[in-house]
Amino acid sequence: MSNRLGHGWGSRIDRNAAIGFTFEGRPVSAHPGDTIASALAAKGEWILSRSFKYHRPRGILTMAGQDANTLVQIGDEANVRADLRQVAEGMAVTPLNVSGSLRRDRGRIIDHLGRFLPVGFYYRTFFGPRRNSWLKLWEPIIRASAGLGTVSLDPAPRRYLKETRHCDVLVVGAGPAGLAAAIAAAEAGADVILAEKEPELGGALTYARFGVETADAARHLDALRRQAAAAGIAVLSGATCNGHFADNWLPVLQGDRLIRIRAAELVLATGAHEQPLIFRNNDLPGVMLSSAAQRLMRHYGVRPGRRAVVYAGDRDGYLAALDLDDAGVRIAAVIDPEAEDRDGLAPELARRGVPVMRGCTIRQARGGLHLKAVEVQDRQGGRTRLDCDLLVMAGGYTPGYQLALHAGARLSSDDGGTRFSITGVPDHVHLAGAAAGLSDLAAVIESGRIAGLRAAAGLGLAPAQELPAPVQAGWRRAAPSPAHPKGRDFVDFDEDLQVKDIENAIADGYRELELVKRYSTVGMGPSQGRHSALATARIVARKTARSLAEVGITTARPPFGPERLGLLADTTPERHRRTPLHAAHLAAGARMTPVGAWWRPLVYPGADAPEDAIRREIRMVREAAGMLDVSTLGKLEIRGPDAGAFLDRIYTMAHAGQPVGRVRYCLALNEMGSILDDGVAFRLSDEHFYVTATTGAVDRLFAEMMLQKTIMGARVDIQNVTAAFGAMNLTGPRAREVLERLPGSIDFGRAGFAFLDGREGELAGCPVRVMRIGFTGELSYEIHLPQSHAAGLWAALLEAGADLGLRPYGLEASRILRLEKGHIIIGQDTDALSTPDELGMGWALSRKKPFYIGKPAVERRRALGDKRRLCGFALPDEGNAAGVGESALVLQDGKPVGHVTSFGYSPTLGQWIGLAHVAPDQAEPGSRITLRGFAGAEVEAPVVALPFHDKDNARQEM
C-alpha cells in the first residue's frame, strides 16, 4: 500500500510520470523528482542499510544527506546518498555493508557481541592477544568487514571539467537568508553568484513550518524567488560549496564540474543542522528528525508513518506535529521534557486533539526491523508504552559552521551554554540566517538583507554605515542525554557510538575532545560530526565539569562533504614538450623517453636489439660521425652593456674579458659554494653572449639570474630562449667533412675554426650559431638555430653525410661517450653538496675575480678540506658479476664512504667503467676502491685517471 500523500504535498515530484528502478533486485516504482530514499519510503521500504559496526538496520534519519544510513551503491558508483540522489530509469541500487540481504544480514550477529567491541577497539587490537595479532588476526578480519561501497577498478570513463570564476559576492545557501542577501547585494550593483546544494532555491522555506498558519512562509518563498530571478544573480543549483581557502577562494562542486570561485565578499547562509535526541534504540528505522519527516511530506509527498510520537526537544517539534496532523498521521502524543508550555503552540494542538505529555522523556524505542513502540518516562519515574511506527525527534540545531571555521572563525556557545554559535568571522565574510543562530523567519530574512548590504559596502557599492544585526529573543532547551544501562543509545550513528562509549573514553583518560575523537572515532564518519558534535561536546562537558564553550569541537577542515577524486585530479592531458626534431626521430624509428617534461630519443634500434644498437651508435661516433638532438639544452640570450660583468658575477670563470668569437665553459655555484649548473658562453659581440645551461637546471638558473640582475641593477636583458632554438651536436672524425658538403658562409677548416671557437653565419640557407664544443671527445660542432629551421637542417645534414656513415644517435650512447671522457652530468655526478674541488674542477674557479656568487663559501670549504672526491674507476674483469651499478656503495674498512654515480660498459675500451664519490685518500689513480654490487658481492676496482679514452684529449682538437 503506497504511502503517497494527496495533492498539495510533494513539490518536487511529477505524479503524471513513472520511473522504474531496482533495489536489491526488487522493482520499485517512482516519480520523476523522487530520490531513491523517498521512492522506497513511498513503497513502505524503510530499511536502507546496515550500520557500520553492529550491522543494525538503518533507515532515513536526516533526509538531507547528513548521515551515513542512506549510503547505497549504484553500479560502479560507491557511497551514493540515497536521500539526495534523484531516481533515474533503470537504476540498479544495492545496499552496502550486508552479507545476504538487508533484512536477513548475516552480520547482524555482531550487534549481540557488542560488549566484546569496546570503545577504542581498534587501538586495543595492536596489543593482543599475541604480539603480531594485529597483523595476522585482526587486520584480515577488519579489512574484510571494513569499508562501505565497492570501488570499481574498471569504471566507465567520466569527463570532469574544472573552471575558475570571479565575482563580487558569493552567497552560499539559497534559503531565506541567502536569497535575501543575494538580492540586496545584486540590487546594490554587485556581481553576485548564489550557490545552493539543493536542486531548487528556498532552503527551509520549501519544507519547514514557521507557525500555526503557513501562508506567510509560502508568500515569502514566492517573493524571494521572483526578486532573485529579476536581480540578475548567477544561480548555481545542485552545487555544493565544499570549503573555504585563503582570500575567499572556494570550490563549488556541481555534478562533474569543479567551479573554483574567487569572491571579493562572501556571505555564508549555510543554515543549521537539526540534531537527534539520544535514547536507547534511537537508530531504528522509523525514527527520524522532524525536518526529515517534513522533507518527506513536502518535497516528495510521502507519509512518513501511520501513527507517530513526536519528541519535542525544540519548538520545531510542535510545528512538525501540526504538519503530521495536516497529512493525516495519527499522533499518539507529543513528548516535551519541559514542564511548562513556553512556545505557545499547546492550544492549537489541544484544538486538534493531539495529546501532550509534559515533563517526560523517551526512555527507549522498541522494535526489530522497524519501530513498534516507545517507552515514555515521567519525572516520577512512571513509564508508559505508546505504540507507533514513526518517532519524530526535534533536538535543536547546530549552525552550519564548517565553512566559517575553514575561514578562521571559532565556535563558542550561546549564553545558556546549550548550543553552539559562531564567532570571530574574518573580514570579507558575513554570516546570515540560521548559521548566525536565528530561527524566527522575519529575523532570518532581515539578517540576510543586512549581510548582503554589508558585502556591497565592502565593495564600495553601498554606504558602510553600521547595520545592527537582528537579535532574537528566546531561550533554548537543553536536551537531556541520559545513558541507558543497556546502551544502544546512539550519539554518532555513522560510527555506531553510544553514550557509554564516549563516557568510557573519558574514563580511560581521554578528557580532551581531540583525544575523545581519536580514541572513539566519534565524528570521523561520512557526516563528520554534523549530527554528533553537539551531543558529544555536551557529554564531555558534563563528565569533565566544563562548559560547552570550553570543550568546543574539533576543528572543521575542508572538504565540507564528499568529493569524487575525479573532481580533484587533473584529468587534462599530461604536459610534455617536444623538440623541433620530434617528428624526425619518430620517422627514424627512435625509442623515445620522457626526460622531465621533454621527449628525447634513447636509441635508434633499426633492426637491432637495443643493446647492440647502442654499441653501434657509440662505434659510429668514434669512427665516422653521429648527430645528437640537444635541443632541450637551456639557452639564454644575455644582451646589454653590462652583459660581461653580469656573467662574471653569476659564473666562476672570467667572461667580461672573453674574446668575441670564443666559447668558454661556464660553471654556476650557489651561495653555499655548491654546483648549481654548467654550460658554455659564446660571445657574439661585446654586448651579446649566447649561454647554454643544462636541460634540468635552466629554469632555476634563469630565476636566479633575474634576481641577481635586479639586485645589481645591471643593464642587461636576459631572455630564456630554450625552446626558441633547436640544437644538434654533430660529432666524430668525419664531422667536418659533412659540414663542408653543405653550402654556407662559415669556414669549417681547422685553421679557420679552432676548438672552442664560435661562429655565426648561414648553413644550407639557415641562420646558425656554431660552437666547436662537445662532450664525446671527438671532433664536434654544436649547431644552434631558430627552431623553425631545425628540422630542415637536420635532414640536410643527414642527407649530406649519409655515405660517410652519419646517423643520428640517442641518449644511451651519449651517456657512455661522455663517460669515456670523464665528463660529469649535473645532478647525476653532482648533488646539493658538490663543490668544484671535489670534482677536480678547481681550474674553473677564477682567482682574479674579486667576487662571483659562491666565492666566499667555496674558499671557506676549501680551507675545511674535501670530505670526498669524484674519481674514475674500471672493473678489473670483463664481466660485472658483482652487479655494480649506479648508487652502488664504495666501502672503506667495511664502512660506506661514497657511491657510484655513473656506470656503464665502454665498447671503445672493452671495459666496465664508472665515476664514484670516494674518500679523499682513495681518489688518486693507482689506488684501489672496494665496491659492493647489488648482487651482494664486493669487488675491488682500480682508480683510473680521467679521461678513460684519448688521454691527451687530442681528438676533439682535430
Partner 1 sequence: MKIMTCPVNGPRNISEFQWLGPVHAEDEARDETLVERLFLAPNPMGVLREWWRHTPSNTVFIAERNLISDEILRTWLKGSDADKPTSAA
Partner 2 sequence: MTALAAPARIWPLADRLPLLDAWPEDGRDWMLNLSALPRFGLRGPGTAAWLSGRGCPLPDTIHRTAEAPGMTVVRLGGDEVILLADPLAGPTGLAALRQDWQQAAGPKGFDAWREETWCWLALTGPGLADALPLLTAVDTRPHVFGPGAVVQTRALHMDAVLVRNDRNGQPGLDMLFDVASSDYAADFVADVLAGFQMGRLAG
Q: Which positions lie near partner 1, rule CB under 8 A?
A: 245-247, 249, 260, 262, 671-672, 703-704, 706-707, 709-713, 851, 853, 855-857, 859-860
Nearest CB to partner 2, comparing residues 120 and 744: 744
776 binds, among partner 1, partner 2, none (CB under 5 to 8 A by kind): none
789 binds, among partner 2, partner 1, none (CB under 5 to 8 A by kind): partner 2
Closest approach, Cβ 315 to partner 2, in A, equals 44
**129 prior amide bond cis, ω within 30:** yes
**468 prior amide bond cis, ω within 30:** no
Alpha helices by DSSP H, 440-594? 441-458, 499-507, 513-520, 533-543, 548-551, 565-568, 582-587
Q: Single out the segment in contact with partner 2 by CB under 8 A; choices: 340-348, 365-373, 793-801, 867-875.
A: 793-801
Nearest CB to partner 2, comparing residues 647 and 766: 766
Give CA–CA dist 19/630, Å, rounded. 63
Query: Helix (H, G, I), strand (E, B), or coil: what is residue 846?
Result: coil
Radius of gyration of the chain from its Cα atoms, rounded to whole angstroms: 38
* DSSP secondary structure, 612-671, as one string: HHHHHHHHHHHHS-EEEE-TTSEEEEEESTTHHHHHHHHBSS--TTPPTTBEEEEEEE-T
Give CA–CA dist 95/55, Å, rounded. 12
162 binds, among partner 2, partner 1, none (CB under 5 to 8 A by kind): partner 2
Nearest CB to partner 2, comparing residues 363 and 577: 577
639 binds, among partner 2, partner 1, none (CB under 5 to 8 A by kind): partner 2
Print the binding letters for residues 561-600 with partner 2: x by CB under 8 A, - otherwise.
Answer: ---------xxxxxxxxxxx--x--------------x--
Nearest CB to partner 2, comparing residues 262 and 484: 262
Binding partner 2 (rule: CB under 8 A), the pick from 724, 832, 909, 935 is: 724
166 binds, among partner 1, partner 2, none (CB under 5 to 8 A by kind): partner 2
765 binds, among partner 2, partner 1, none (CB under 5 to 8 A by kind): partner 2
Residue of 448, 453, 423 lying closest to 434 (CA atoms): 448
Nearest CB to partner 1, comparing residues 240 and 674: 674
Residue of 138, 144, 141 lying closest to 123 (CA atoms): 138
Nearest CB to partner 1, comparing residues 162 and 955: 162
Closest approach, Cβ 166 to partner 2, in A, equals 4
Phi first, then psi, for residue 731 (nearest 5°) are: -140, 145
460 binds, among partner 1, partner 2, none (CB under 5 to 8 A by kind): none
**Could you say whether residue 850 binds partner 2 (CB under 8 A)?**
no
Residue with cell 671557506: 860
316 binds, among partner 1, partner 2, none (CB under 5 to 8 A by kind): none
Nearest CB to partner 1, comparing residues 448 and 458: 458
637 binds, among partner 1, partner 2, none (CB under 5 to 8 A by kind): partner 2
Binding partner 2 (rule: CB under 8 A), the pick from 89, 427, 740, 859 is: 740
Give CA–CA dist 236/259, Å, rounded. 10
Residue of 113, 112, 137, 115 lying closest to 126 (CA atoms): 137
CA distance readout (Å), 691 to 722, 743, 779, 936: 10, 27, 21, 45
How many residues can be counted in the chain? 958
Nearest CB to partner 2, comparing residues 590 and 742: 742
Print the binding letters for residues 613-642 with partner 2: x by CB under 8 A, - otherwise.
Answer: ------------------------x-xx--
**Could you say whether residue 792 binds partner 2 (CB under 8 A)?**
yes
710 binds, among partner 1, partner 2, none (CB under 5 to 8 A by kind): partner 1
Which residues, 6+ apart, have CB-to-CB distance to 3 below 8 Å?
Answer: 41, 42, 43, 44, 302, 303, 304
**Could you say whether residue 760 binds partner 2 (CB under 8 A)?**
no
Binding partner 2 (rule: CB under 8 A), the pick from 791, 804, 857, 874 is: 791
Nearest CB to partner 1, comparing residues 190 and 916: 190
Determine contact, residues 362/335, Cβ cutoff 8 Å: yes
* DSSP secondary structure, 97-166, as one string: S-SS-STT-GGGGGGGGGGGS-TTHHHHTTS-SSTTHIIIIIHHHHHHH--SSPPPSSPPP---EEEEEE
Determine contact, residues 731/626, Cβ cutoff 8 Å: yes
793 binds, among partner 2, partner 1, none (CB under 5 to 8 A by kind): partner 2
Determine contact, residues 730/620, Cβ cutoff 8 Å: no
Closest approach, Cβ 587 to partner 2, in A, equals 11
Determine contact, residues 63/297, Cβ cutoff 8 Å: no
Query: Helix (H, G, I), strand (E, B), or coil: what is residue 470?
Result: coil
Interface with partner 2 (CB under 8 A) = 161-166, 191, 260, 262, 570-580, 583, 598, 637, 639-640, 715, 717, 719, 721-725, 740-743, 764-766, 786-793, 795-796, 799-800
